[in-house]
Chain A
């Protein structure tokens, strides 16, 4: 136990707290910590016991958590997952650019830009309303059926285009929310400083808006990472399909569990990063309020 009155307490900016109260609250924090850890350990232990002692567990373990099956499926899953990552990276690149253009298009206020606004709104309404899986099927089987000269019929290309179309609509709305969340006084102030409308958007509105919507943007990209699995409907073997092939030829679902872990492994860093950004953003905005 350290003595309560130490240098940091008197540091500027930290309000003075009665040493006795400080000691009490520290003791309580420690106790809360112990209770929380104990409760967590007990809860997980009970859960683990209940699952592993259930009558069906040996069969479930054999069917879902079979090490031999996992090792056998591993090489084909790794190879297939490379396709998911490729699709994701290409799609994300285009989505970031296109969705910003759509969001800006919807924000145009000049009368002459009305058709642009209408088109952008229609685009968002349509592709946000139609399930991604349908866009993939329609583009992947529909466009090649047109037999257009010089147009690729590659299922990977059309699957990726479908993901781009679908997710651009979601992400454009995220951008728009960010742009509209910037108080009008910011724009007014920028204009009164002599910035043009374009400059105001570029130097004042967008930097604030993008920072504000970074967590939901990353959220959409995590969702996109998972949706790459839908491209398998058109024929290419991505990780989920590879797992399905393994499962149905061996009547064992372990490969599905491995594929799930692949997705978690790649989305987890992104998820934690999003959490961190969100916390940082909250702290920044709440500064002074607490």
Chain B
């Protein structure tokens, strides 16, 4: 009777060890991949496809979320060069010395873009606002667009003719989750009713059409787009003057990415040459919406 007992003893003692071995296997594997894909930041400002430490040598991998909405992208196809952010991405790539066919697009959900660990893109362009808190987790390029927030309502909405912040406070407002529009509602407008929060602008638009909310808060280019192309009976009630320093969209990169310096150089020369302004004028046009007063 000693025999079976010893076997079970042995077995139970071996189990944790086996588990440990298996896990150690995983850990060391993760270790090597993490090591190889996060090279030390380059100090040189030599920015050419040959020297740039991109994810895949000779290729610039650019990420954005899907669906990619106008006016930032057209036809949900980032690689066609149409739409503001698609054009900016290709302009940055060109400045860095990458030709059109050396740019690869991947889909990166916004929620995943700031996850710790190795990134599967060189930079992510997805209307991501630069904030100090976010900068603790990722690196941003300099801003490529200064954005204002705007209020969109149906023409027969009770707040369709609001001109002041105070008039908006009693409204039922909605925004897309993860956007600074939502922060804007809670921090600047401070409505009396809790805002509604949607997965994407399409859901927010449905809720607006159904009368579940009185207005949505979106960035101004989106406001121009939805009022012009997607609603028959909606209008921009107004826009908000930019906050101190302005809210800027930046390219999101891994913390400590070796590309930050070069990408910033590229953006600077695009700004200096006026090319960035040209891209903006091509894709983000709209009549001037009135500003809200305090």
Q: Which residues of A line the B interface, CB within 8 A? A: 28, 31, 35-36, 38-39, 42-43, 46-47, 50, 53-56, 59-60, 62-63, 141, 144-145, 147, 153-155, 232-237, 241, 244-245, 247-253
Cα of A207 to Cα of B27 in the assembled complex, Å = 54
Cα of A37 to Cα of B115 in the assembled complex, Å = 36
> Is A144 a contact of B211 with CB atoms below 8 Å?
yes
Distance between A66 CB and nearest chain B CB, rounded to angstroms: 10
Which residue of chain A lies nearest to B34 when distances are taken between CB atoms in the complex?
A55
B55, CB-defined interface residue at 8 Å: no
Indicate whether A62 sits within 8 Å of B116 (C-beta atoms), given known contacts A245-B197, A251-B133. yes
Cα of A144 to Cα of B213 in the assembled complex, Å = 12
Flag the segment in B18-26, B220-228, B258-266, B279-287 that touches A: B18-26
Question: Cβ of B241: which chain A residues have Cβ within 8 Å of it?
Answer: none
Question: CB < 8 Å: which of A39, A60, A236, A250 contacts B13?
Answer: A39
> Is A235 a contact of B207 with CB atoms below 8 Å?
yes
Distance between A252 CB and nearest chain B CB, rounded to angstroms: 6
Question: Cβ of A36: which chain B residues have Cβ within 8 Å of it?
Answer: 12
Q: Which residues of B line the A interface, CB within 8 A? A: 5, 8-9, 12-13, 15-16, 19-20, 23-24, 27, 30-31, 34-35, 110-111, 114-117, 131, 133-134, 136-138, 174, 177-178, 180, 182-183, 194-199, 203, 206-207, 209-213
> Is A248 a contact of B177 with CB atoms below 8 Å?
yes
> Is A232 a contact of B111 with CB atoms below 8 Å?
no
Cα of A59 to Cα of B210 in the assembled complex, Å = 43
User: How would you classify the secondary structure of chain A's contact residues: helix, strand, loop or mixed?
Assistant: helix
> Is A43 a contact of B19 with CB atoms below 8 Å?
yes
> Is A145 a contact of B197 with CB atoms below 8 Å?
no
Q: Which of B5, B8, B110, B212 has its CB near the most chain A CB atoms (within 10 A)?
A: B212
Cα of A28 to Cα of B2 in the assembled complex, Å = 11
Which residue of chain B lies nearest to A64 when distances are taken between CB atoms in the complex?
B116
